Structure 1
Amino acid sequence: MSHCADGDPPVPADAGSDTGSDARPDIERVSRRDFEEVWHEQDPSVIPDLYHADYRGHGFPLLGTVSRTGYRRVSGLFLRAFPDIRFDIHRLDSATGRVETDWTFEATHSGWVGPLPPSGARISVDGWGRHRYEGDRVAETWLDLDWADLAGQLGRGYLAAAREKVGTLV
């Protein structure tokens, strides 16, 4: 999987450090807080503490680029749809001056998303993300996951639920 995003600018040699010292552990800590507090503890209210006021997030389906407020809304929708969501972080690395992560999220689609009822599907989707920092807050994110795979897994959940209700005709 390529970890380059279209429009992703080159990383300056001193990225991630505004004092000249190695700030990697601090930015890694902030990125981990996103997974732990926003997702696992289901607390999107911490987003302003972690994300810059001018934050831009790339790679969100249907929305394109989102603001900090947009990220808070998207996370709220996901948490309602997948209240048991868990991220397994395979790699979290700040050697480039940005925090890059590879992860798998697993969840059960047990909540409504707009007009879509829960499918009951147990899903598992691999993805990656990159956080660019300004100071101690995330200023920009690039996100990539297989949205088509996610939709397919949800569809299979709906199909299984329909088969359970009407038998093997579906």
Structure 2
Amino acid sequence: MDTIPTAEMKAKVRKIEEKVWNGRDPAAFDEIATDDFVMRDPMGDRDLDGAREMIQAVLDGTPDLEFAIEDMFAAGDRIAVRYTLEGTNEAPSFLTKEPTGNHWRSSGITIYRFEGDKVAEQWDAFDYFGTMQQLGLIPAEAETEAEGGAGAPA
């Protein structure tokens, strides 16, 4: 199966990412995903249904979420996207059982692998640690040191 031209792959990914996140429509990803799509993520691999559920949980917890593509590169059958997500945790979400009310801004990189004109696989590297610190779910380094935790002077 031949891969679609790089410019077309980039345009498809940009359009879908905007629809999914800023358009608040996780089902839009179905337009470019293969039936056996796999999302590989530090929090666990997901099929298409699982990816949609994770995205919806993020959207539900962050009603003011804003997504921005910072960079996009392509080579062969792959597209790499560097992006930022930003918003306020106002409801239970992917990372929170209870809303924290905290504003957060984090970045990530996703690599998409195309089979023909569809995405078969994606790999995500997202700053979950920094996001969890901003949400108040884990202490920031300064708080840990101030409380006498690891890294505090002896």
Say whether the fold is shared (TM-score over 0.5).
yes
Task: Give the aligned CA root-mean-square deviation in angstroms.
Answer: 2.1
Out of 64, 68, 79, the position equivalent to 2:48 is: 68
Please give the residue correspondences for 1:1-170 in structure 2 after superposition, counting only pairs within 5 Å.
18=2, 23-61=5-43, 64-113=44-93, 116-155=97-136
Q: State the percentage of identical aligned residues.
A: 27
Secondary structure of 1:83's aligned partner: coil
Task: Tell me the number of residue pairs that the alignment of Structure 1 and Structure 2 aligns.
Answer: 137
- Whether the 8 Å CA contact 2:89–2:99 is kept in 1: the answer is yes
Q: Which runs of 5+ in 1 are unaligned?
A: 1-16, 157-170
Greater CA deviation, 66-75 or 46-55? 46-55
Secondary structure of 2:87's aligned partner: strand
TM-score of the superposed pair, with normalisation by structure 1: 0.73
Greater CA deviation, 91-100 or 23-32? 91-100
- Whether the 8 Å CA contact 1:60–1:66 is kept in 2: the answer is no
Correspondence for 1:14: none
Secondary structure of 1:80's aligned partner: helix
Q: Which runs of 4+ in 1 moved over 3 A?
A: none
Q: 1:58-104: per-residue Cα shift (whole Å, max 9, x none)?
A: 1141xx11001111111111110112211221111113431101111
TM-score of the superposed pair, with normalisation by structure 2: 0.81
